């Protein structure tokens, strides 16, 4: 079930970005969503390291220790980028570089 959550959170955040027009609200929702993703990936990695058995999603997507490590690493980078982007996008809008 955690594999599905890891796949769905970025998809839901991208769909929400189509409908939310306030940049501050979008940045906060994005940062919270990727924070949730980071927490789920941390929980997933912890559970995986305690069990050490590869997990499967319907027999076509497998997660082993290497992929769990890279999911956690990617989630850390995505969370840091989403937090940094709040101020960055605000500065770009104030300078009229984007609308």
Q: How far is CA 19 from the centre of its chain?
A: 19
Q: Residue 57 phi/psi, 5° resolution? A: -110, 105
Q: In the Cβ-directed half-sphere of 57, how many Cα atoms lie within 13 Å?
A: 11
pTM higher than 0.85, yes or no? no
Rounded to whole angstroms, the Cα distance separating 51 from 63 reads 12
**Digitized pLDDT (tens) for each residue of the chain, 99 residues in all:** 778 888 899 999 999 988 887 878 888 999 999 999 999 999 888 877 887 676 767 777 777 778 888 989 999 999 999 999 888 877 877 777 766
Place of tokens 């990727």: 34
């Amino acid at each position: 079930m955690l594999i599905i959550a890891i796949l769905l959170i970025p998809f839901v955040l991208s769909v929400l970005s189509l409908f939310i027009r306030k940049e501050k609200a979008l940045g906060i929702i994005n940062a919270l969503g990727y924070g949730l993703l980071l927490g789920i990936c941390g929980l997933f990695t912890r559970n995986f390291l305690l069990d050490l058995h590869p997990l499967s999603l319907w027999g076509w997507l497998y997660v082993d220790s290497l992929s769990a490590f890279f999911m956690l690493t990617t989630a850390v980078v995505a969370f840091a980028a989403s937090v940094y982007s709040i101020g960055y996008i605000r500065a770009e809008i104030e300078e009229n570089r984007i609308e």
